[in-house]
């Protein structure tokens, strides 16, 4: 499965290797920086893909006004500047580079922890100003102290590995991390309520989502040890800046190191006062600002575009943000199953006859099929074909189905042979992939042992009388419509033709 990319706009500064790699593989690139929203919308009429960093804001207005846009890539980790909900509804793929910044952000985090412990920034500034304040800037050893890491993704794990070499005890909170993995990493998993009282240092490595906004606030800071240090190299807004400032003033918080802020560049008086506080080390969002990280994210986003477009089989698509199911679907092995599921969904859609408020059952059968979650989404794509004016694909199908009242129930059963079963109303449709051929195996009581190939166009008739088959064939003949294939089994007659038609036969129900 691939997405056609005819041209790419790069609207933020990224390393030149990004555009060079795309151009080398035949994808034209246009580079224009500092575009206003109207200028961005106007320029995107000429492109179907966009690469940004953090300056360009890709809002719902942009997605609504750019019908050709198929892919937005963020050369970095966070996607706060991209409206994911709007992108998903419009069927636009959003990519990031999840591993590109990890080492750089990790190393800055470790440097800031060490700087807090030994008052490096304050002592250096004091000496530059002509003072010799040895006693004032006496610090603490990190060895034996407890570091709490909130979020054990790539960066959190790298921080844990490095700070363990300082002799720090690592405790962590991550609802996704499995206990056995935590044991392998040498960290102790705790819930948040148990972390606050034991941590000497707290560093956050989570995305900014509703659940993490102001994660460190007045209430949680009050539960922490007196003298706790706070580090944020993740996203502004995870730490409540006013609460942190108040805790510093009360001398409950011993110090903080901040690389990110709610507003960048900061203008809010509270944030500016926080930055100027003598126990705060502040840097201007330098987490990914290394030559290595900038090169890495530029190359990685270009590589993913090439993998997504099918221009190169060398690269994998690893950073799909708004449709994880798409990552698993994007292999040659899985593409026939996607197409089969769409076909089954299209057949199921005929039985709805315009009825949208209903439940669809999608079931996978056989070993390994439970991992192909994209099958259920592809069934939805088939059902929704012709039912919506929006662009329709694996990304937005679940959202669009929900909008019109179609609910999908997914299940899996084991079996000797791999198959997909779709149930709608009182009908059951079953299909499989055999030697890359898409086959219909059963329709209600009609079983086709060798399968009917999903080729050409299909007409369905429910025949209950002996003469029904002859009547159907006579009508097709009278209209000079060539029948490529005819299957009659149970109560169903399935006719395949070389063009899309709708032929009514008196007293015979058709779909």
d(CA 452, CA 436): 13
CA distances from 42 to 9, 45, 62, 266, 480 (A): 12, 6, 10, 30, 50
1 is a domain residue: no
| E strand segments, 196-240 | 201-204, 228-232
Listed as own residue / partner, the contacts of 174-180 with beta carbons closer than 8 Å and 24 or more positions apart are 174/150, 177/152
| pLDDT score recorded for residue 207 | 85
| pLDDT score recorded for residue 277 | 98
pLDDT tier at 243 (50, 70, 90 boundaries)?
very high
| pLDDT score recorded for residue 38 | 96
* Residues 225 and 355 both lie in one domain: no
**CATH number of the domain to which 481 belongs:** 3.30.1330.90
CA distances from 463 to 8, 28, 56, 348 (A): 53, 55, 60, 18
pLDDT tens track for 301-356: 999 999 989 888 888 888 888 876 676 666 778 889 999 999 999 888 888 876 77
Give the catalytic positions in this structure: 235, 264, 285
* Residues 143 and 88 both lie in one domain: no
* Residues 402 and 448 both lie in one domain: yes
pLDDT tens track for 496-510: 888 888 888 888 888
* Residues 460 and 345 both lie in one domain: yes
Identify the helix (H) or strand (E) that includes residue 93: strand 93-95
pLDDT over 90 (residue 51)? yes
| pLDDT score recorded for residue 249 | 97
Q: Max alpha carbon distance in the chain (Å)?
A: 106
Query: Which are the contacts of 489, defined by CB distance < 8 A and separation ≥ 6?
Result: 446, 447, 448
Number of domain units in the chain:
3
* Residues 220 and 339 both lie in one domain: no
Q: Which two tokens stand for residue 405?
A: 């009242």
Instruction: Indicate left, alpha or beta for 414 from its phi (over 0: left) and psi (-120 to 50: alpha).
Output: beta
* Residues 251 and 217 both lie in one domain: yes
Give the residue numbers spanning the domain of 426.
Answer: 332-510
Least confident of 11-20, 190-199, 362-371, 493-502: 493-502
Domain boundary among 270, 300, 322: 322
d(CA 498, CA 373): 32
* Residues 69 and 172 both lie in one domain: no
* Residues 44 and 58 both lie in one domain: yes
pLDDT tier at 42 (50, 70, 90 boundaries)?
very high
pLDDT over 70 (residue 1)? no
Residue bearing the bigger pLDDT, 19 or 453: 19
Residue 103, helix vs strand vs coil: helix
| pLDDT score recorded for residue 388 | 63
| pLDDT score recorded for residue 327 | 66
What is the arithmetic mean of pLDDT over 63-78?
A: 92
pLDDT tens track for 359-391: 999 999 999 898 888 899 899 989 888 666 556
Contact (Cβ atoms closer than 8 angstroms) between residue 366 and residue 428: no
Contact (Cβ atoms closer than 8 angstroms) between residue 255 and residue 69: no
* Residues 263 and 365 both lie in one domain: no
What is the arithmetic mean of pLDDT over 188-199?
A: 97
Domain boundary among 269, 302, 322: 322
**CATH number of the domain to which 256 belongs:** 3.40.50.720
440 is a domain residue: yes
| pLDDT score recorded for residue 467 | 83
pLDDT over 70 (residue 442)? yes
Report the candidate in 60, 113, 131 with the shortest Cα–Cα distance to residue 89.
60
d(CA 238, CA 220): 12
| pLDDT score recorded for residue 387 | 66
- The mean of the pLDDT values for the chain is 91
Percentage of residues of the chain with pLDDT beyond 90: 63
pLDDT tens track for 126-148: 999 999 999 999 999 999 999 99
Contact (Cβ atoms closer than 8 angstroms) between residue 505 and residue 461: yes
What is the arithmetic mean of pLDDT over 63-75?
A: 94
pLDDT tens track for 271-286: 999 999 999 999 999 9
* Residues 367 and 489 both lie in one domain: yes
- With b meaning 16 or more CB within 10 Å and e meaning fewer, what string describes 262-292? beeebeeebbeebbebebbbbbebebbebee
Contact (Cβ atoms closer than 8 angstroms) between residue 75 and residue 21: no
* Residues 35 and 92 both lie in one domain: yes
What is the arithmetic mean of pLDDT over 396-414?
A: 86
d(CA 316, CA 303): 8
* Residues 158 and 171 both lie in one domain: yes
What is the arithmetic mean of pLDDT over 279-301?
A: 95
């Amino acid at each position: 499965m691939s997405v056609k990319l005819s041209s790419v706009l790069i609207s933020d500064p990224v390393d030149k290797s990004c555009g060079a790699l795309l151009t080398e593989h035949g994808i034209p690139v246009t580079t224009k920086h500092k575009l206003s929203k109207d200028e961005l919308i106007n320029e995107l009429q000429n492109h179907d893909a966009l690469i940004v960093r953090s300056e360009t804001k890709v809002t719902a207005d942009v997605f609504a006004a750019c019908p050709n846009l198929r892919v937005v890539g963020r050369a970095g980790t966070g996607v706060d500047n991209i409206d994911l909900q709007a992108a998903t509804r419009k069927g636009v793929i959003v990519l990031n580079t999840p591993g590109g910044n990890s080492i750089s952000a990790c190393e800055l985090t470790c440097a800031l922890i060490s700087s807090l412990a030994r008052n490096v920034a304050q002592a250096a500034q004091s000496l530059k100003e002509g003072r010799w304040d040895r006693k004032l800037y006496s610090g603490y050893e990190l060895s034996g102290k407890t570091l709490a890491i909130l979020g054990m993704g790539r960066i959190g794990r790298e921080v844990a590995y490095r700070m363990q070499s300082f002799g720090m005890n690592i405790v962590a909170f991550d609802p996704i991390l499995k206990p056995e993995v935590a044991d392998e990493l040498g960290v102790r998993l705790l819930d948040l309520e148990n972390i606050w009282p034991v941590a000497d240092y707290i560093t956050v490595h989570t995305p900014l989502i509703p659940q993490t906004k102001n994660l460190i606030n007045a209430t949680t800071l009050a539960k922490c040890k007196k003298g706790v240090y706070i580090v944020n190299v993740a996203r502004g807004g995870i730490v409540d800046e006013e609460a942190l400032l108040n805790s510093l003033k009360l001398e409950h918080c011993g110090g903080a190191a901040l690389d990110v802020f709610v507003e960048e560049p900061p203008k809010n008086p509270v944030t500016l006062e926080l930055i100027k506080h003598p126990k705060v080390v502040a840097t201007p969002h330098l987490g990914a600002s290394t030559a290595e990280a900038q090169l890495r994210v530029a190359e990685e986003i270009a590589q993913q575009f090439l993998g997504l477009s099918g221009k190169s089989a060398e690269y994998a698509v690893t950073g799909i943000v708004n449709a994880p199911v798409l990552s698993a679907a994007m292999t040659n092995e899985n593409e026939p199953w996607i197409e089969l599921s769409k076909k089954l969904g299209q057949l199921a859609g005929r039985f709805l006859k315009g009825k949208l408020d209903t439940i669809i059952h999608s079931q996978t059968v056989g070993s390994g099929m439970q991992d192909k979650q994209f099958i259920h989404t592809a069934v939805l794509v088939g059902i929704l074909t012709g039912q919506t004016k929006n662009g329709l694909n694996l990304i937005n199908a679940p959202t669009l189905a929900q909008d019109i009242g179609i609910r999908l129930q997914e299940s899996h059963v084991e079996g000797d042979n791999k198959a997909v079963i779709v149930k709608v109303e009182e009908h059951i449709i079953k299909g499989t992939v055999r030697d890359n051929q898409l086959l219909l195996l059963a329709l209600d009581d009609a079983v086709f042992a060798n399968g009917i190939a999903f080729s050409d166009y299909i007409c369905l008739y429910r025949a209950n009388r002996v003469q029904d088959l002859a009547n159907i064939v006579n009508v097709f003949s009278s209209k000079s419509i060539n029948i490529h294939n005819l299957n009659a089994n149970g109560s169903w007659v399935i006719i395949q033709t070389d063009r899309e038609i709708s032929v009514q036969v008196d007293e015979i129900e058709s779909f």
